[in-house]
Amino acid sequence: MKEYFSNIGKIKYEGKDSTNPLAFKYYDPDRIIDGKPMREHLKFALSWWHTMGGDGTDMFGCGTADKTWGETDPEARAIAKVDAAFEIMDKLSIDYYCFHDRDLSPEYANLGESNAKLKVVVDYLEKKQKETGKKLLWGTAKLFDHPRFMHGAGTSPSADVFAYAAAQIKSAIDATVQLGGKGYVFWGGREGYETLLNTDMGRELDNMATLMRMAVEYARSIGYDGDFYIEPKPKEPTKHQYDFDTATVLGFLRKYGLEKDFKMNIEANHATLAQHTFQHELNVARVNGVFGSIDANQGDTLLGWDTDQFPTNVYDTTMCMYEVLKAGGFTNGGLNFDAKARRGSFTAEDIFYSYIAGMDAFALGFLAARKLLADGRIEKFIEERYASWKTGIGADIIAGKADFRSLEKYALEKGEVVDSITSGRQELLESIVNNVLFTL
Ligand code: XUL
Ligand code: CO
């Protein structure tokens, strides 16, 4: 079989003192931690769209990286992409991948032909998975690229477009199920509006929920037992996207009774676009029992768009893994690198450097988060900060034994309560994080 990266061997763990750019400094895939290898704690996934398809094209210029994989014919290229992707996954010890249907196989003259050609690639993927043990983390349908989706897919004013989207999702679910995926993602790139002057928001949200309910019904009917995810994002490409952030999506899921089947796929850069931290979004998902999976990347705080950079900020990866560990770790989800090398990082080596950077940043974050939890000072502080809810009036309120009349009586008898307040100690806690993270 053709080797696409013949100048790059298997990337090995060499430890933190290594200066080899093609080695892991922190990600030691088979190191057993808490009874399972690091690769199973982190569940890294390759994103088909960025890594196999993204050539650096932006609004101002053409691609800078060659992602043709040596083929001009679209069918041959789709198969070459599979071989190249499996070589990348093998060399980087990445066990999972994620796709949109049209990343695997492009759109052809009509839906029937597109479905048939997609099936050929999916069959080939199934064979490669069997040979290598690599797995599908999640699949999705690309419902935002073609002009037919210019006003949305599930939220399009055209019922014909809704039907087309449903048909496309059906075949993307078939592919996901055939490949043993345990996740199916809805990212509503065009499910939003540009102006309310032309928009019936109530109708659009009802329709979006109907599309999701139909997807669940179909998938369950063919034996799919994995999770559905919504990936919140507030804007881009539309001015306002309905899946704005985790809290907004939760309200939507609960209104339409979809909360049992859906969890969140939280993306770092989408969190910051919604003016939240990455940790905030993960925390909201965790405390509401809908934490599912992660699109691992980072934005640039000086830019107002989705830069999808490979994550290297260890503070962020630490607080992310802190939330993941507190949620009990990944079950069906994982860490999908929805990230691309910069347009100027255009060589084949840059694919490997960028994944190594991201994977090491998350390995470090995972190790640091475990240390923070083992250190216990932060957890203990939070525990003590809420101690007043364990006994007395706090315990009564939680037990439902209080009402406004009894609380008024209590407050009148108690008098001023300012002395019951303790310091928030933010600076102390921030210095504890540094103390645990850095052992120079
Ligand atoms: C776009 C984005 C998507 C989803 C999958 O911002 O994140 O690639 O992850 O559709
Ligand atoms: Co994403």
Tens of pLDDT along 254-291? 999 999 999 999 999 999 999 999 999 999 999 999 99
- Give dist(CA 282, CA 322) in Å, integer: 10
Which of left, alpha, beta for 392 (phi over 0: left; psi -120 to 50: alpha)? left
For residue 270, the ligand 1 atom closest to its alpha carbon is 6
Nearest CA to ligand 1 atom 3: 187
Nearest CA to ligand 1 atom 5: 187
Which ligand places an atom closest to the C-alpha of 295?
A: 2
Q: How far is ligand 1, taken at its centre, from the CA of residue 187, in Å?
A: 6
Catalytic residues: 100, 103
- Give dist(CA 191, CA 187) in Å, integer: 9
For residue 236, the ligand 1 atom closest to its alpha carbon is 6
Residue 1 — very low, low, confident or very high, per pLDDT cuts 50/70/90? confident
Position 409 pLDDT exceeds 80: yes
The predicted pLDDT at position 228 comes to: 99
Q: Nearest 5°: CA angle at 364, between 6 and 329?
A: 100
For residue 306, the ligand 1 atom closest to its alpha carbon is 6
The predicted pLDDT at position 110 comes to: 98
Tens of pLDDT along 21-46? 999 999 999 999 999 999 999 999 99
Q: Give the dihedral sign, CA 157/160/161/163.
A: positive
Whole-number mean pLDDT of the chain? Answer: 98
Average pLDDT on 410-430 reads: 97
Contact between 267 and 297 (Cβ < 8 Å): yes
Residue 402 — very low, low, confident or very high, per pLDDT cuts 50/70/90? very high
Which residue from 138, 143, 231 has its CB within 8 A of the most atoms of ligand 1, so it is best to mutate? Answer: 231
The predicted pLDDT at position 19 comes to: 98
Percent of the chain residues past pLDDT 70, beyond the cut: 100
Q: Report the pocket of ligand 1 as residue ranges, CB < 6 Å.
A: 100, 140, 185, 187, 231, 233, 267, 295, 306, 338
Position 440 pLDDT exceeds 90: no
Average pLDDT on 314-318 reads: 98
Position 418 pLDDT exceeds 90: yes
Q: How far is ligand 2, taken at its centre, from the CA of residue 245, in Å?
A: 13
The predicted pLDDT at position 195 comes to: 98
The predicted pLDDT at position 204 comes to: 98
Position 182 pLDDT exceeds 80: yes
Rounded (10°) angle between helices 348-375 and 377-385: 50
- Give dist(CA 171, CA 76) in Å, integer: 21
Nearest CA to ligand 1 atom 6: 306
Residue 292 — very low, low, confident or very high, per pLDDT cuts 50/70/90? very high
Q: How far is ligand 2, taken at its centre, from the CA of residue 295, in Å?
A: 5
Q: Give the dihedral sign, CA 172/338/362/291.
A: negative
Nearest CA to ligand 1 atom 10: 187
Tens of pLDDT along 110-153? 999 999 999 999 999 999 999 999 999 999 999 999 999 999 99
Tens of pLDDT along 224-242? 999 999 999 999 999 999 9
Average pLDDT on 59-66 reads: 97
Q: What is the 3-state secondary structure (H, E, C) of the chain?
A: CCCCCCCCCCCEECCCCCCCCCEECCCCCCCEECCEEHHHHHCEEEEHHHHHHCCCCECCECCCCCCCCCCCCHHHHHHHHHHHHHHHHHHHCCCEEEEEHHHHCCCCCCHHHHHHHHHHHHHHHHHHHHHHCCEEEEEECCCCCCHHHCCCCCCCCCHHHHHHHHHHHHHHHHHHHHCCCCEEEECCCCCEECCHHHCCHHHHHHHHHHHHHHHHHHHHHCCCCCEEEECCCCCCCCCEECCCCHHHHHHHHHHCCCCCCEEEEEEHHHHHHCCCCHHHHHHHHHHCCCEEEEECCECCCCCCCCCCECCCCHHHHHHHHHHHHHCCCCCCCCEEECCCCCCCCCCHHHHHHHHHHHHHHHHHHHHHHHHHHHHCHHHHHHHHHCHHHCCHHHHHHHCCCCCHHHHHHHHHHHCCCHHHCCCCCHHHHHHHHHHHHCCC
Q: How far is ligand 2, taken at its centre, from the CA of residue 376, in Å?
A: 33
The predicted pLDDT at position 117 comes to: 98
Average pLDDT on 55-65 reads: 97
